[in-house]
Amino acid sequence: MLQEKTYEHVLFERDGKIARITMNRPEKRNALSLAHMQELIGRLKTIGEEKEASVIILGGNGPAFCAGHDLSEMVGRDPGFYRHIFDVCCELMETIQAIPQPVIAKVHGVATAAGCQLAAACDLVVAAEEARFATPGVRIGLFCSTPMVALSRAVGQKKSMEMLLTGEFISAEEALTEGLVNRLVAADALEEQTTALAQKIAEASPIVVGIGKQAFYRQLDMPTEQAYAYTKEVMSFNASFADAQEGICAFLEKRKPEWKGR
């Protein structure tokens, strides 16, 4: 297991093909201060560029996954500061989906406001049975407009609107039903089950997973005809990869593939 020098708000380690990013502001329930978000962006981009890891697990230390923006930074500031905060927040969410590695949110405790957005922006979510999700900004006079983007793309229109208008929590079980969560596990099995999912993903060719992740997000908002035209080109390009040819031959020869990463 490789361990790097930690940032102030973020811990990082790599175990083989699995990278682990842990938000480390337990006393603030991992609230997303400006510095915290910038560290997350920097760490995610570095992993994406180095490509030594095939999958990322994002979790949080302390009693909560993430309690949203650090509201102590948002009192008495000018509009330019608020715009900068939300610019950085949007960059964080976009970075998660832009890097080639799938990012799995490992959620315990609560994921609220921008913390709910953070979970929704991740490619997959594994949640402890006791976890809860909410976008409660409306209750403090600050509608969760940017969290709405990720939430409404993960959850149906009626449920996401209900969450945004009421600010009420939904349980992990309801989050699973509504499509915000992929897997629901006992709290004491959260680490084990999230790691198992990451290991399953890491078995595939990382370059193929990366091109597939990129294509998934690009085709989402395309009309069907355009989406097929785009993904046809992606598959044609993918089929020429050494890893695609190795995978096909390995399947036909009933053996385990040996990925080359190209």
Share of the chain above pLDDT 70, in %: 98
pLDDT tens profile 169-196? 999 999 999 999 999 999 999 999 999 9
Mean pLDDT confidence for 11-29: 96
Beta bridge partners of 21: 12, 58
Retrieve residue 50's tokens. 């180095």
Alpha helix locations (H) across 66-205?
A: 79-98, 114-121, 145-154, 157-166, 172-178, 190-202
Average pLDDT, the chain: 95
pLDDT of residue 6: 61
Q: Which helix (H) or strand (E) holds 107?
A: strand 103-107
CB atoms within 10 A of CB 157: 8
User: Cβ neighbours of residue 168 under 8 Å, at least 6 residues apart?
Assistant: 134, 136, 162
pLDDT of residue 4: 52
Q: What is the DSSP string of 169-187?
A: -EEHHHHHHHTS-SEEE-G
Q: Hey, what domains does the chain have and what are their CATH numbers?
A: 2-202 (3.90.226.10), 206-252 (1.10.12.10)
Return d(Cα 29, Cα 33) in angstroms, integer: 11
The answer to whether 134 and 112 are in contact (CB under 8 A) is yes
Return d(Cα 168, Cα 133) in angstroms, integer: 8
Return d(Cα 218, Cα 191) in angstroms, integer: 31
pLDDT tens profile 92-106? 999 999 999 999 999
The answer to whether 62 and 96 are in contact (CB under 8 A) is no
